[in-house]
Amino acid sequence: MMRHEITHRFHSTFKVSFSCQLCDRPMFYGVKCKDCKYLCHKNCAARAPPSCGLPEAFVDMFAQTIITTNNKGGPGGGDTDDDNSWGTRQNSVTAQEWEIPFEELNVVDAVDSGNFGSDQVLRGYWHGDVAVKRLHLPEDILQNEKALELVKEMFKEEVANFRNTRHDNLEIFMGACVEPTRLAIVTTYCKGDTLYEQIHIRKTKFSLNKMIDIAQQICLGMGYLHSRNIVHKDLNTKNVFFDNGQIVITDFGLFALKQLCRAERKGLWLPIPKHWLSYLAPELMRKLNPHYGPECNNINFTFSSDVYSFGTIWYELLTNDMPYKNPTPEITIWQVGRGLKQPLINLQAPREIKNILLMCWSAERPKFSDIHNLLESLPRKRVQRSSSFQLDKTKTIFR
């Protein structure tokens, strides 16, 4: 993963209703970066991460640098890329070893479309049942050579993430189709229901023991991803499957590509998928921009934001409901971005169960290994559910 250090250009600002993006405390006076719009207290500026977003004017230059660098050979000039190869990746595995010609896939039917309409999950056959996750590039990218090369580079990075993962609770990478008009990642096909279908459609009432087992398997899979320095970025119950009694996590690390390939743009506006905001951590919520532009891609997902998403999954398991059932996305963004939490007053459960949710939704969140240990120590008692409860700041236990 590439890292860069670009110093922020701070200037004083007055932001009475915002929180510091470093310490997460309320901010009245502070500083704001002229380029990436990073907001923090003046005293926090010296500790702000030196990772200012790349200004739009330099995107083309940056893309060309990537292309030029990756087309150069190694020491001695013996390893150069040609038009039919994307070169070697980690562990010296060449592209040809995982490339799958799209014509070799026997696509049966469509299973699902992604959150942002830019990706589609197909059921197919390639030496067995497979899931084919297609990324549909908009015409403006297909017709822009530099943009297309940048997408290729991003696609290779995500393929590398998939290829280097092997865990019982993660889907298995089979290969990828690399034609720009038919970009796709091929994985094992999960034949069971998603956790979303079990909770919200079938209305399955899991026993506490089963809830703990599901949550622990998610923690094991996510803990492994984080140990490989991979952030899921889109952990939700639609990406968690039951497959032969096993929990399988899918679609990890693909968010950046999905965003870049957005097909559901409506002018300058980006539609927000149903329930997507319920999994988004407050620090990310505060960076959302309703307009389609450079700032839309400046959402820095972290291990901690994955933990927040897990907290929402834990809430769904406990209540058979979604948090933040507001009439408009704007209300959810306003509430969560300012630290309001979904109340748990109607959830009759042991304190230890609620504490896990509190920790996952707090500013300082535990690691998945710690959550797994907490789940292991939970008392096996019956959880009593009641009807969902609307957000009421005066009655929340999160005060």
The pair of structure tokens assigned to 324 is: 């933040």
Active site residue 83: no
Query: What span, in angstroms and rounded, lies between the C-alpha atoms of 259 and 213?
Result: 32
**Tokens coding 270:** 């980006």
Classified as helix, coil or strand, 248 is strand
Residues 6+ apart with CB under 8 A from 131: 111, 121, 122, 123, 124, 171, 186, 187, 188, 189, 190, 250
Strand partners for 6: 51
CA dihedral of residues 363, 369, 375, 377 (deg, nearest 10) = -110
CA angle 236, 177, 84 (to 5 degrees): 140
Distance, C-alpha 301 to centroid of its chain:
7
In contact, 14 and 31? CB cutoff 8 Å: no
Q: How far apart are CA 2 and CA 149, in angstroms?
A: 16
Q: How far apart are the C-alpha atoms of 17 and 73, rounded to whole Å?
A: 52
234, 243, 251, 370: the active-site residue: 234
User: Do 314 and 349 contact (CB within 8 A), yes or no?
Assistant: no
Active site members? 234
